[in-house]
């Protein structure tokens, strides 16, 4: 296992950044960060990891394949008929959904509940121009 220094850590973020360093997370959603791996450590359970990754627009596995192993999907009337999981299970585009307004997200999740007791919102609902600016910057990057 390699231990990353500060420079390398900026590209390989973990759950600590997601849950604790919102300046870094705002840089990611605005396109200012070069980070390209988000490991969802520091997260209580697998269900929340999936929700957080979907909320960040970093999830590419179709729902029908979650919680099933390969043999379940291809044998016995499974959903995959050609032996390949790629077409049935992988999405070319991120699968986004909102879950918690007090966790980082690619898009504002104002209407979602809070998961933490103090319920500090990631997006400022009073700054719609900020949201519009971030969406425009992201669109320009793509």
Q: Is the pLDDT assigned to residue 78 strictly greater than 80? A: no
Q: Using an 8 Å Cβ cutoff, are 19 and 115 in contact? A: no
Sequence-distant (≥ 6) Cβ neighbours of residue 62 within 8 angstroms: 88, 89, 90, 91, 95
Report the mean per-residue pLDDT for the chain.
82
Q: Which pLDDT score is estimated for 126?
A: 62
Residue 54, pLDDT > 90, answer: yes
Strands 12-13 and 37-38: parallel
pLDDT digits (tens, 9 = 90+) for 84-136: 788 888 999 999 999 999 999 999 999 999 999 999 999 986 666 566 777 77
Range name among 9-13, 25-29, 50-54, 81-85 with the lowest pLDDT average? 81-85
pLDDT at 1: 45
d(CA 107, CA 96): 9
108 exposed, middle or buried (CB, 10 Å; 0-12, 13-18, 19+)? buried
- What is the per-residue pLDDT for 83? 59
The tokens for 132 are 């519009």
| Two structure tokens written together for 105 | 């997200």
Range with top average pLDDT, 36-40, 80-84, 130-134 = 36-40
Separation CA 135–CA 141 (nearest Å): 10
The answer to whether 99 and 55 have CB atoms below 8 angstroms apart is yes
Which has more pLDDT, 11 or 130? 11
Q: What's the pLDDT score for residue 4?
A: 60
Residue 60 vs residue 131, higher pLDDT: 60
CA–CA gap between residue 107 and residue 86 (Å, rounded): 27
Distance CA(65)–CA(128), nearest Å, equals: 36
């Amino acid at each position: 296992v390699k231990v990353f220094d500060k420079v390398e850590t900026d590209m390989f973020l973990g759950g600590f950044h997601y849950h604790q360093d919102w300046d870094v997370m705002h840089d990611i959603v605005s396109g200012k960060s070069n980070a390209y791996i988000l490991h969802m450590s520091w997260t209580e359970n697998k269900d929340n990891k999936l929700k957080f990754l979907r909320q960040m627009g970093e999830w590419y596995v179709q729902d029908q394949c979650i919680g099933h192993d390969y043999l379940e999907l291809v044998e016995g009337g499974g959903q995959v008929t050609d032996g390949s999981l790629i077409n049935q299970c992988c999405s070319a585009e991120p699968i986004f959904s909102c879950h918690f307004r007090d966790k980082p997200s690619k898009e504002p999740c104002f209407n979602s509940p809070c998961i933490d007791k103090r319920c500090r919102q990631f997006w400022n609902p009073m700054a719609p121009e900020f949201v519009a600016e971030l969406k425009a910057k992201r669109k320009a990057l793509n």
